[in-house]
Homo-oligomer: A and B are copies of this chain.
Amino acid sequence: MRALEEKILQEGKILPGNVVKVGGFLNQRLDVEFLMEMGQEIARLFEGEQVNKVLTVEASGIALAVTAAAALHVPAVFAKKHASANLSGDMYTAEVYSYTHKKSYTIMISRDYLTADDRVLIVDDFLACGNAVKGLMQMVDEAGATLVGVSAAIEKGFQGGGDALREKGIHVESLAVIDSMDDHSIQFRA
């Protein structure tokens, strides 16, 4: 999605540790009109695949999941990373190792919200090593639901998570794939 690549080049900042900071439009500050466009693009990429649920992880995946779900006219579900008084009953859980934070955390979804009838599109803001996606896929599998595909706004192609999923035959659509980056430049996959 050319408009996203341009926005990353114009507004993104590269921080140490392979972090692309896009807090100005995708994270913390949300350019909601642009998020709506990205959501529509995701809906277009998975058109005809009968997605009936968008699945993400709190917190930064929620905004894009909402706009993708709005464009697909389906509900969204987000896995929680933190225990809450609002969570009760039977849960799916998975362990996720965060490359960014260098630690593992547990993600949780109530069993009520993910079932065998679901045709699930996993949506997230970033796809890097793909650990969060693997945790969500494990839950989709446990629920007996069907994974339709995975869509991220920004894939860090050089971290390999997206390509590993593609090699397994999973339909992965990232709106921008960064194949390499250093302090001065970002190369997108053609």
Contacts and interface: CB of A to CB of B under 8 A. Distances in A.
Contacts of A58: 58-59
A86 B33 contact: no
A66 to B, nearest CB: 5
A85 B24 contact: no
Given A62-B63, A85-B15, A76 B24 contact: no
A37 to B, nearest CB: 11
Nearest to A20: B86
Interface in A87-115: 87-88, 100-101, 109-110, 112-113
A110 B66 contact: no
A28 B76 CA distance: 8
B78 A59 contact: yes
A116 to B, nearest CB: 16
Contacts of A74: 32
Nearest to A98: B85
Given A23-B86, A24-B113, A32-B69, 5 more contacts: A15-B88, A21-B86, A30-B69, A67-B70, A85-B101
